[in-house]
Amino acid sequence: MRADGLAGRTALVTGGGSGIGRAVAVALAAAGARVIVAGRTAATLEQTVELADEATAVWGGESLVGGQSWAPVVPAGAQAHIVDVTDAGAVRALFAAIEHEHGRLDIAVNNAGRPSWGPVAQTPRAEWDAVIGVNLTGVWLCLQQEIDLMRRGGGGAVVNVVSRIGIPMREENQGVYAASKAALSILTRTAARECVGWGIRINAVSPGPTDTALAAWDDESQAERDARVARTVPIGRLAAPAEIAAAVRWLVSDEASYVVGHDLVVDGGLSA
């Protein structure tokens, strides 16, 4: 995809303060989008904003398509919004601000998520509510607003970040997390069927083990984590967050214009 392939488009990334969300925000900014990152921690969101702005600082050269030159891409600076996606009022306020400031929303990446560990039989109700609240209800609240804004704006592209733990695979001690992510995959594909006639493409990405703070088990060093993953993942390593971001960037681009209701598994062959 050419470097200015998303020029002029407004993109929202939830859970944009670190990890995959941060990598997605930077990748979309590098492709020319005006990026809005949302999350609960101001300091990490501001770090993402700085990285996104750096990614758009200098562009120029020849297009990979047809040999035509393209102009430098310098979209407006990235923005950060403090939002708890489980708070319906806060979510509505976020989208009201996006519409007021930008007039439209072209791309949305629902990445905010919460991990969970422990046997199903021993999971407290509070843990269940928290995980379902962020991983499923929070996405649903955002998705409703995204669909409304995109429908009124003539269309758009949505990617929900799911997981290889869910429909592709199950693992012991991750039953609650798997339930939330499997349900999100089904929600994604159902919404895709409902919205494609409005010019809204909705898809999902299901990452495998990725080099983020959530990839290590309790009391596990980075070296121990890397060795464990090398033994279990066919490709022999964790994904870089930028590799997951590349999949997201493709799905929201015009190159994926015929891709609707797909859950793209990016897991190094783990669920093959």
Catalytic residue set: 177
Q: Residue for token digits 């080099």?
A: 211
> What single-letter amino acid sits at 68?
Q
Torsions phi, psi for 87 (to 5 deg):
-100, 105
First-last CA distance in the chain: 27
Closest Cα to residue 21, out of 43, 4, 44, 54? 44
Please provide the size of the chain in residues. Answer: 272
Q: Are 31 and 253 in contact (CB under 8 A)?
A: yes
Q: Residue for token digits 């799905």?
A: 251
Q: Computed from CA positions of residues 245, 246, 252, 256, in that sequence, does the dihedral angle turn out positive or negative?
A: negative
Q: Residue for token digits 């997951």?
A: 244
Task: Output DSSP code: residue 62.
Answer: E
Give the whole-angstrom CA distance, residue 234 versus residue 41.
Answer: 35
Q: Residue for token digits 């994604």?
A: 188
Q: How far is CA 152 from the centre of its chain?
A: 23
Give the whole-angstrom CA distance, residue 227 versus residue 45.
Answer: 31
Q: How far is CA 217 from the centre of its chain?
A: 22
Strand partners for 12: 36, 108
